[in-house]
Amino acid sequence: MSTSLLLLVLIALLYTAGIYLVLDRSLTRVLLGVLVLGNATNLLVISAGGPFGAAALVGRAPEQAMSDALVQALVLTAIVITLGVSAFLLSIIHRTWALDREDDLTEDTEDRSVRRRLARGDQVDEDEFDTAGCEATSDTDDERAGSVAPAGGPA
């Protein structure tokens, strides 16, 4: 099986960019990263189909000269799936924006509760454990916890 070197270089570049973006804290960038990674993977699938050739329409070209139509079908499916997932991601990113006015994947609730407990000298703060209570405690910053949800704080 042979494939185009240029395509491979492009795939590598896209993966690099995609991974860089996904690791970002900004949710919009994570979404962009997912899209770029999706495209990189689609190109990888295309390149798995072997060398390029004529369109796979019977009668237009001899069978040996045709390119593999299966990978194109796979990629089409994958593109549709990526589209749906991106739409969903976009909608929940918008929802986070509507709730918190920010576009940041902030630190873990659990991490923060551990830190607070340590700061308070091992006094267990059950409010943090109660996952149901997450709505009342701010998911963002320690300072905000005071202003947004007075109930969450120990004071």
Residues that bind other proteins (CB under 8 A): 1, 22, 27, 30, 34, 37-38, 41, 44-45, 47-49, 68, 70-71, 74, 77-78, 81, 84-85, 88-89, 92-93, 95-96, 99-100, 105, 108-110, 124, 126-127, 129-137, 139, 148-152
Least gap, CB of 59 to other proteins (angstroms): 19
Which one, 60 or 147, has the nearer CB to other proteins? Answer: 147
CB-based contacts of 69, cutoff 8 Å, min separation 6: 56
Least gap, CB of 143 to other proteins (angstroms): 17
Q: Angle 144-125-134 (CA atoms, 0-180°, nearest 5)? A: 50
Which one, 17 or 71, has the nearer CB to other proteins? Answer: 71
- Report the Cα–Cα distance between both ends of the chain, in Å, rounded: 68
Return d(Cα 130, Cα 123) in angstroms, integer. 15
Return d(Cα 126, Cα 16) in angstroms, integer. 42
Residue 136 carries which side chain, given as an amino acid letter? A
Helix axes 5-22, 27-48, angle to 10 degrees: 160
Which one, 77 or 119, has the nearer CB to other proteins? Answer: 77
Least gap, CB of 67 to other proteins (angstroms): 12
Return d(Cα 24, Cα 68) in angstroms, integer. 37
Least gap, CB of 11 to other proteins (angstroms): 10
- Give me the residue label for tokens 């991106």: 86
Least gap, CB of 113 to other proteins (angstroms): 11
Which one, 9 or 151, has the nearer CB to other proteins? Answer: 151
